[in-house]
Structure 1
Amino acid sequence: MISPIDLQYMPSSLTAISLAGPHLRLNIPGISNLFRFIARHIHTAILFTWTDYKTIFLPITVFGCATAPVQSIGHLLQACLWIWLHLLLCNVSNQASSKSEDLVNRPWRPLPAGRVNDSQIKILRVTMIGLCISWSLALYGVEIMLVTLGLVLTTYAYDEMGLARSPVGKNFCNIWGYVSFETAAVRLMGSELSFDHVARVAVCLSGTLIFSTIQAQDFPDVEGDKAAGRVTLPIYAPELSRVFTLLIIPLWSAGLSWYWGVGWVTKVATVLLGCLVGVRYYAWRTPKSDRRSYLIFNVWLGAMSILPLHARFGVFAF
């Protein structure tokens, strides 16, 4: 994917290396422009995924490390790369169909900022699908490839079939997306590509948790969702969604602490953190407050993600 801005770098970059008799001659300014050309595209890829490092990449990575548990640095790096590539796949697809929303909420993203145009993002979208399917099949086999394919189909349903505009449809897509990421993370970080009982239960509980709390990410984006024609729970039921969030997050804290059998200090700490998140969403309702509440929500989500570690090693007995 080459934008018009990048084309100005290409002539000098392509002629940066030339032959003079038997000797190779380097044009240093041309090499510099080539590095700038590459760096720009890396920066663009990072911008596509920037808002989801704290919401998907880090929580999924923590969940995989705790649930598998992670076997080595090599397993961790492979899983992180898989997660990031598939996160890029999802975000390119989402942002290709949400330009109007991003113009309101996140004008720095590549499409509204003009780093890519509409035709380029469509090409990138197809390229990422082919790359991720091939990556999973070639390196990890049919089982992980099917996880990728499921994620591709979910993303298509979310962006192209209109499920993003329905509170229930959006939640179902989100739960399947999270479960897909978590399944791959656990399988790639573990000692073998298989689930045990702890992993299966942890993924099921996590998916249900996401389904019932996903509105937490919608509160800060109400104006953008309205601009995109989406009907999220905070738009459809503003007061009910606040009350539900106030209650469900502390309940999940208590329920997961009890299920995984952690000690009383850990139970009290997780419940207090859940109460803090719930009360913030209910009591402070400005966009700025909601964005801060969402950051704390992701801290809470990370805390819930590591509780299965107790089932393996008893690390939260205190």
Structure 2
Amino acid sequence: MPGFAVTTVRSTLHHCETAWLFTKSDFKTIVLPVMTFASVLSPRHDPLALSCSLCWLWLQLFQGNVSNQSYAAGEDALNKPWRPMPSGRISVKNARALRWALMVFCLGYSSLFSINVLMTSALFTVLVIVHDDLGLGGHPIGKSLLNVGAYVCFEYGSTLILSGRSSLDRTSVTALLCSGLVILGTIHVQDFEDFSGDRAAGRRTLPIVAPEGSRIYTLCVLPLTSLVLAYFWSLGYLCSVLFVSMGCGIGFRCFLVRDEAGDKITYRLYNVWLMGAHLLPAHTRFHAFSW
């Protein structure tokens, strides 16, 4: 009996680690920015609601990553060999079976909150199917649009659960639209560090389609987006200078530093900038509460 217990614990820990590895790389790119967004816009912050919101977000992300990585095992062998399929922790066949089981579980968990959360989860599932099974994720424009859709689903569902409401107020909807536009215009920054793997997999990302043009575009779009956001959310002079300077610095770095190691650092800095962009609506919230 003790031997059985030890085996069970080891097996459970092994499966938990596998689940963690499926989502490990997206904590800085999705979980932290999305939960920051939800926390800024939510009027309540009790631990139970925060835990439920975080759990919902992670489950949706887990579902999407299992599906996506089951179609990208060859690419991950080059870019991220530590992921579950390249490292041999789970087969492609079992990953695809897990993906459909997760879809059912995510829908069931979402139904515990509200019809809007359930519909958000269902929409995200449709986006995953279009991205992976129908192959639209291999097109640079299609990939960007689907990334925006997924990101908005994450933010909308997480904010609804954390706030305990069935719908969002005007400021939250405005922030959601701004977030979608920011992601649409800048999410391609993640593709620079994955250039080799994406090319080997036959994907047509923006850096592959336009190697020089994508760098010039990033050099322009990050400072411009920073400036527009600072003006739109009425930041003070000091905050505006800091935020715009960050966007300018990352844009110039992306243009000047072009090796794989440099692109990885640029992407990390971009995620810091993205986190800052998700904090900007807090300025409006603060002034609304002060009145």
Question: Which band: TM-score by shorter chain?
Answer: over 0.9
Q: Which SS does the other structure have where 2:10 is aligned? A: helix
What per-residue deviation string (whole Å, max 9, x for no partner) do you get for residues 81-109 of structure 1? 00000000000000010111101101110
Cα shift at 1:314:
3.4
Cα shift at 1:164:
1.2
Is the Cα contact below 8 Å between 2:114 and 2:166 reproduced in 1? no
Unaligned runs of 5+ in 2: none
Pick from 188, 211, 219: which aligns with 2:161?
A: 188
Is the Cα contact below 8 Å between 1:260 and 1:308 reproduced in 2? yes
Pick from 175, 180, 199: which aligns with 2:148?
A: 175
Total equivalences in the alignment: 289
Q: Which SS does the other structure have where 1:113 is aligned? A: coil
Cα shift at 1:70:
4.2
Within a 5 Å distance, the mapping from 1:110-149 to structure 2 comes to 110-137=84-111, 139-149=112-122
Cα shift at 1:69:
4.2
Could you say what the CA RMSD is over the residues aligned between the two structures, in angstroms? Answer: 1.3
Q: What residue is the counterpart of 1:253 in the other structure?
A: 226
Q: What residue is the counterpart of 1:299 in the other structure?
A: 272
Q: State the AA in 2 paired with 1:202.
A: A
Q: What residue is the counterpart of 2:78 in the other structure?
A: 104
Q: State the AA in 1 paired with 2:199.
A: K
What per-residue deviation string (whole Å, max 9, x for no partner) do you get for residues 158-213 of structure 1? 11111111100001100100000010111111142321110000000100110010
Distance 1:108 1:216 in 2: 22
Q: What residue is the counterpart of 1:229 in the other structure?
A: 202
Distance 1:50 1:60 in 2: 15
What per-residue deviation string (whole Å, max 9, x for no partner) do you get for residues 108-153 of structure 1? 100111000122112101110010011101x113211110010000
Is the Cα contact below 8 Å between 1:69 and 1:186 reproduced in 2? no
Distance 1:91 1:301 in 2: 21
Is the Cα contact below 8 Å between 1:76 and 1:189 reproduced in 2? yes
Tell which deviates more after alignment, 46-55 or 69-78. 69-78
Distance 1:252 1:116 in 2: 41
Cα shift at 1:30:
2.7
Distance 2:89 2:34 in 1: 28
Are 2:15 and 1:41 equivalent residues in the alignment?
yes
Is the Cα contact below 8 Å between 1:96 and 1:111 reproduced in 2? yes
Tell which deviates more after alignment, 29-38 or 222-231. 29-38
Q: State the AA in 1 paired with 2:167.
A: S
Are 2:89 and 1:89 equivalent residues in the alignment?
no
Within a 5 Å distance, the mapping from 1:239-318 to structure 2 comes to 239-314=212-287
Is the Cα contact below 8 Å between 1:178 and 1:207 reproduced in 2? yes
Q: What residue is the counterpart of 1:60 in the other structure?
A: 34
Distance 2:222 2:38 in 1: 22
Identical aligned residues as a percent: 36
Q: State the AA in 2 paired with 1:146.
A: M
Is the Cα contact below 8 Å between 1:96 and 1:121 reproduced in 2? yes
Q: TM-score, normalised by structure 2?
A: 0.97
Distance 1:70 1:221 in 2: 38
Q: TM-score, normalised by structure 1?
A: 0.89
What per-residue deviation string (whole Å, max 9, x for no partner) do you get for residues 45-64 of structure 1? 00000110110111111111
Is the Cα contact below 8 Å between 1:67 and 1:306 reproduced in 2? no
